[in-house]
Amino acid sequence: MAYRTSLARRTGSAHAGSRHWKLQRLTAVALVPLGLWFVFAMVALSGEPYEQVRAFFASPFNATMTVLVVIAAFLHARLGIQVIVEDYVHAPALKVTALVLNDLLSFAFATSCIVAVLFAALGS
């Protein structure tokens, strides 16, 4: 037993777990009102012509709310997938690859969604 404790001595705590936990809870709480707003807004826009949808996103409030939904949703998903990979992927190379892909794909998809909202909002 002394051998195992000597390995852990002077390494300290990473303190990353509590930040991760708080951020995941924060995004979950933020997604409740944002998600409800987004669902109701998209249901109201269903069947509307493209010009009406562009007019919806031209409003700074609606564009900002949509971007906040995208950021919160992709950040929450990235954090959740990170926990799954860290808990269930045991091969070190595969774990690192999965975590890097998770970060890159989350960033790429969130960025593409935000750009799409901005194109719709700015009329391009």
- pLDDT band of residue 123 (cuts 50, 70, 90) is confident
pLDDT of residue 23: 95
Sequence spans of domains, the chain: 16-122
Q: What is the model's pTM?
A: 0.84
- CA dist 44 and 99 (Å) reads 37
In terms of Cβ atoms closer than 10 Å to its own Cβ (0-12, 13-18, 19+), residue 65 is middle
- Please say if the pLDDT value at position 15 is more than 90: no
- CA dist 43 and 84 (Å) reads 32
Q: What is the CATH number of domain 16-122?
A: 1.20.1300.10
pLDDT digits (tens, 9 = 90+) for 97-117: 999 999 999 999 999 999 999
Residues 59-83: what's their mean pLDDT? Answer: 97
| Cβ(79)–Cβ(48) below 8 Å | no
pLDDT digits (tens, 9 = 90+) for 22-64: 999 999 999 999 999 999 999 999 999 999 999 999 999 999 9
CA 47 to chain centre: 28
Q: Using the CB atoms, write b or e for 26-63: b if 16+ within 10 Å.
A: ebeebbeebeeebeebeeeeeeeeeeeebebbeeeebb
- pLDDT band of residue 11 (cuts 50, 70, 90) is low
Residue reference for tokens 């249901």: 43
Phi and psi at 116, nearest 5°, equal: -65, -40
- CA dist 34 and 52 (Å) reads 21
| Cβ(38)–Cβ(65) below 8 Å | yes
pLDDT of residue 49: 94
pLDDT of residue 18: 87
pLDDT of residue 44: 96
